[in-house]
Structure 1
Amino acid sequence: MLVHALVRTDGTVDAGELYTVAGLLGMTDQQVRLCVGRLVAEGRFRQDGRGRRAVLRAVSDATSGALAPDAEHIRHAYRQDDGLAPWDGTWHLFAFAVPEARRTVRDALRETLLHLGAAPVQGGLYVAANPIADLVEARARSLDALDSVTFLTSTDLRLGDLTEPARLAARIWPLDAVAARHERLAAFAEACAESIDGSALSGAERLTLAVELAAGFSDAMTPDPLLPPELLPPHWPGRRARRLTRACWAALSALPPEPGAPASPPRLFQLYDDAFAVPEETGPAGPA
């Protein structure tokens, strides 16, 4: 993950920079060597030179790996934060029954639904608060499993005696765990902003903060179903965490380049700059 995060726009990774940032993150040189060796053996990178003087060259698109932002997911979150994606009161339900012989297809459907913010209600039945049917249908078609999926919507979902939407959401989704991730992200983003304001950072220190901030943001956002504000508890920490993260990232991006720094910046900065540049648009939209 760290190697991918340091890939520059020209497709290279400076090994000296990699070892320095890894050290600041608490990794040993041996861990870095093993990681690089694995990536080279898998054919993802080509290594020119040895040790800290080496240059890694991406063989394929190695754009930031697990830290690469899902731009549409992020933009939808900020639309919700800005009140541009109100809930229309509709629940979106999906049921599927795939035979054991096609277990990989069944698992792929389940992972797609979870990735899109749906949650299981009972065996084979999932519910989402956002309009994701088109995305689910596209995935089911690609898996040749559309005939196995049932799509329906409802405005009167009930679980036992529960009918109030916010209470249903609290029952269906693990909101306490998601909130805790956002709280950790907010705390780190605040500390990151103080580090930027209070000291002159080296290039390696800036990269380290960027990698940590991107990792924290991904850790908080990936499991977040992006429920509409109407379904969330009061004072939901996600909005504050996203605001602080965007401000901290803008401050990192605005720092002048260090003398002698490579002309080609890490792709990670470009990707997050684009993702945080939320377009001003109106109308309903769901996460991608």
Structure 2
Amino acid sequence: MTSPYDIDEIFPDDAAGAVRLPRRQAGNSPQDLTVTLLADYTLRTRAELPSAAIVALLAEAGVSAAGARTAISRLARRGVLQVRRQGRRSAYRLTPEAADFLAVGGSWIASAATGAEPWDEHWTLIAFSLPQTQRAQRQELRNRLRWLGYAPLYDGLWISPHDLPEEARGQFALIAPGAITVFRARHVELGTGPHRNPVQAWDIAAIAREYENFLERWRDVPARIAAEQPAGAEAVRFRTEVMDTYRRLPVLDPRLPLHLLPAGWPRQPARDLFVAVYDGLAVTAQEHVRAVAADVTGGPVTGIRAHTVDELSAGLPSGPAEPAARRTGARRAARPGDAKGRSSRTG
């Protein structure tokens, strides 16, 4: 397995190329922070945030004004954000496609470690063969497999203890038609000789270290929340950072059956700590985002609402429904001058 944070994309490309979420970088990139910020406070309503408010909130996280504006512009070009202009002012919100993707992905992330799941001891195996000339399709397929919690047991053979979701089957058929075969089977031991166990597709020790780093980073924050700290800008920064960090853990540790893992596996403690921080700061952070938005507009901005982990797990509606023609127009607008929808994706 590669180093956990060398995964090319935590969020893969949209199959149609309409939504291209940012490439994972070391630390928290301005685009990562912008997406998390918009999702944390507007995903339920798809409310707009004034661009000046986004810049101000990112500045509190250490992002320069120029860096913030560049991040917003790139996300708009990628079809993640859509803009509404009024004179010299502009406001941004998540596109319908990005909101849908983040709502589904957020539900999957938030529901991780919510209980011991029964396992029928069958593995899903996905075998594929794509020529070197189809490098983009190979990379996109691998990115999506990573996102779904699969890992490579051998080159071209990826596995998971869970069944392949119905929606993913259609996506894979579009990415690599005729090049993928899916099996559901038990592992057969080969006796006392050396063999490769399916769980070895994941670097268990490396995943455990990521859990330990997360627990170490955040273990003292619940006590600060109980003492009514942090407040304001720090509450928003902490809440954004804890989500941006935690959302990678379920990708690295995709609900592997506990009896296959070392005793005392830290999946549940990590989730409990994430909930304590993310939910504990929700009201304070929400009020600060509202205050910043109101300050730059001269009045209240409607629709800014923080959600809890349980609400995210249950499946947030990704904003009010839009007419089909408008949604289609947003898809077309997401790809200006890019017929193939494949631009360079640097953060």
| Distance 1:62-1:111 versus aligned 2 partners, 3 A rule | closer
Tell me the distance in 2 between the aligned counterparts of 1:210 and 1:235.
27
Q: 2:194 aligns with which of 153, 161, 169?
A: 161
Question: Do the aligned partners of 2:151 and 2:159 also contact (CA within 8 Å) in 1?
Answer: yes
Tell me the distance in 2 between the aligned counterparts of 1:202 and 1:212.
15
Q: 1:240 aligns with which of 269, 291, 306?
A: 269
Tell me the distance in 2 between the aligned counterparts of 1:235 and 1:257.
35
- 1:139 paired to 2:166: no
User: What's the CA shift string for 1:70-93, capped at 9, x where partnerless?
Assistant: 2442355234xx22x132222222
Q: What is the SS of the residue equivalent to 2:153?
A: strand
Instruction: Give the root-mean-square deviation of aligned CA atoms.
Output: 3.6
Corresponding residue number in structure 1 for 2:307:
270
Q: 1:73 aligns with which of 94, 97, 108?
A: 108
Q: 1:175 aligns with which of 204, 216, 239?
A: 204
Corresponding residue number in structure 2 for 1:192:
221
| Distance 1:97-1:195 versus aligned 2 partners, 3 A rule | same
Q: 1:214 aligns with which of 236, 243, 254?
A: 243
Tell me the distance in 2 between the aligned counterparts of 1:246 and 1:59.
24
Q: How far apart are residue 266 of structure 1 and its match?
A: 4.2
Corresponding residue number in structure 1 for 2:70:
34
Corresponding residue number in structure 1 for 2:131:
99
Q: What is the SS of the residue equivalent to 1:156?
A: coil
Corresponding residue number in structure 1 for 2:257:
228
Corresponding residue number in structure 1 for 2:33:
2
User: What's the CA shift string for 1:181-225, capped at 9, x where partnerless?
Assistant: 222222333233233222354433322121111111123233323
Q: What is the SS of the residue equivalent to 1:92?
A: strand
- Dislocated runs of 4+, deviation >6 Å: 64-69
Larger relative helix fraction: 1
Corresponding residue number in structure 2 for 1:56:
91
Which AA in structure 1 matches 2:148? Answer: L
Tell me the distance in 1 between the aligned counterparts of 2:105 and 2:94.
22
Question: Do the aligned partners of 2:150 and 2:159 also contact (CA within 8 Å) in 1?
Answer: yes
Question: Do the aligned partners of 1:189 and 1:244 also contact (CA within 8 Å) in 2?
Answer: yes
Count residues with an aligned counterpart: 267
Tell me the distance in 2 between the aligned counterparts of 1:252 and 1:239.
20
Corresponding residue number in structure 2 for 1:21:
57
Corresponding residue number in structure 1 for 2:342:
none
Tell me the distance in 2 between the aligned counterparts of 1:40 and 1:150.
36
Q: How far apart are residue 142 of structure 1 and its match?
A: 2.9
Q: Quick one: percent identity of the two aligned structures?
A: 24
Q: How far apart are residue 240 of structure 1 and its match?
A: 0.6
Stretches of structure 2 lacking an aligned partner (at least 5 in a row)? 1-31, 292-299, 316-347
Q: Which moved more, 1:217-226 or 1:14-23?
A: 14-23
Tell me the distance in 1 between the aligned counterparts of 2:62 and 2:100.
20
Q: What is the SS of the residue equivalent to 2:255?
A: coil
Q: What is the SS of the residue equivalent to 2:254?
A: coil
Tell me the distance in 1 between the aligned counterparts of 2:77 and 2:182.
43
Tell me the distance in 1 between the aligned counterparts of 2:153 and 2:77.
43
Q: What is the SS of the residue equivalent to 1:270?
A: coil
Q: 2:233 aligns with which of 178, 189, 204?
A: 204
Q: What is the SS of the residue equivalent to 1:182?
A: helix
Q: How far apart are residue 137 of structure 1 and its match?
A: 3.4
Q: How far apart are residue 242 of structure 1 and its match?
A: 0.5
Q: Which moved more, 1:103-112 or 1:257-266?
A: 257-266
Which AA in structure 2 matches 1:2? Answer: L
TM-score (norm: length of structure 2): 0.63
Stretches of structure 1 lacking an aligned partner (at least 5 in a row)? 279-288
Tell me the distance in 2 between the aligned counterparts of 1:32 and 1:65.
24
